[in-house]
């Protein structure tokens, strides 16, 4: 159920990123839009597929497919965002190599209900984006830059917790709550940008 709520917020971030792109013509906002559409679709698929599990216990292959779609969408979405940030900083060759490295592990795994290596790949993508946004905040010192940085730090922290549910199931709830807060920070930033225009 949390995935469905998160998907709604992801779609709201995507909508406002597109609105911001149309206002300021910053291509990073377009990449943000497309990435959050992918995130929203992955989360929505995982959430909708997971709903019948409460009623029917024998659907683990279906749940595994929903998870695989979500994690693949996350890897592609965060790789796109990383590409946008690296492109913005003129590190095109580094971004191309990084995209190649992150896209290839997805094809190595069959559809699994949970795989920590995929969560680790997503974590490193988001952590690198958080580093880029920290440098951006260090240069600009604006409230919007701070919100972007906080949003991606919260998303990185959420994926640390997504790696840990086999240890303690409460971490799964903490992961979703932290991810929700990260999405909200990005949505607030986009509402500030589009509202100021």
Angle at 121 between CA 120 and CA 124, to 5 degrees: 85
| Residues 6+ positions from 92 with CB-CB distance below 8 Å | 86
Sole residue written with tokens 């790696």 = 163
The low-confidence residues of the chain, meaning pLDDT below 70, are 1, 51-63, 88-116, 165-167, 196-197
- Whose CA is closest to 73, among 8, 132, 133, 7? 7
| Cβ-based burial of 99 (10 A; exposed 0-12, middle 13-18, buried ≥19) | middle
In tens, the pLDDT along 123-176 reads 888 888 888 888 888 888 889 889 989 999 998 998 888 887 666 777 877 888
Threshold 0.85, pTM exceeds: no
Q: Do the Cβ atoms of 46 and 4 come closer than 8 Å? A: no
The predicted pLDDT at position 150 comes to 92
For 184, phi and psi rounded to 5 degrees? Answer: -65, -40
């Amino acid at each position: 159920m949390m995935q469905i709520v998160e998907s709604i917020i992801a779609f709201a971030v995507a909508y406002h990123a597109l609105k911001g792109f149309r206002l300021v013509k910053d291509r990073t906002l377009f990449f943000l839009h497309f990435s959050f559409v992918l995130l929203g679709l992955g989360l929505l698929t995982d959430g909708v597929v997971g709903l019948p599990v409460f009623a029917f216990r024998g659907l683990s292959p279906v749940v595994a497919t929903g998870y695989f779609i979500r994690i693949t969408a996350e890897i592609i979405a965060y790789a796109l965002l990383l590409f946008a940030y690296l492109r913005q900083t003129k590190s095109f060759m580094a971004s191309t190599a990084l995209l190649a490295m992150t896209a290839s592990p997805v094809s190595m795994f069959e559809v699994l209900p949970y795989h920590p290596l995929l969560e680790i790949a997503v974590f490193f993508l988001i952590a690198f984006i958080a580093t880029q946004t920290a440098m951006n905040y260090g240069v600009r010192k604006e409230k919007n830059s701070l919100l972007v940085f906080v949003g991606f730090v919260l998303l990185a922290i959420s994926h640390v917790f997504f790696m840990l549910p086999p240890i303690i199931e409460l971490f799964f709830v903490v992961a979703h709550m932290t991810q929700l807060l990260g999405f909200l920070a990005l949505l607030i930033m986009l509402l500030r940008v589009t509202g100021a225009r």
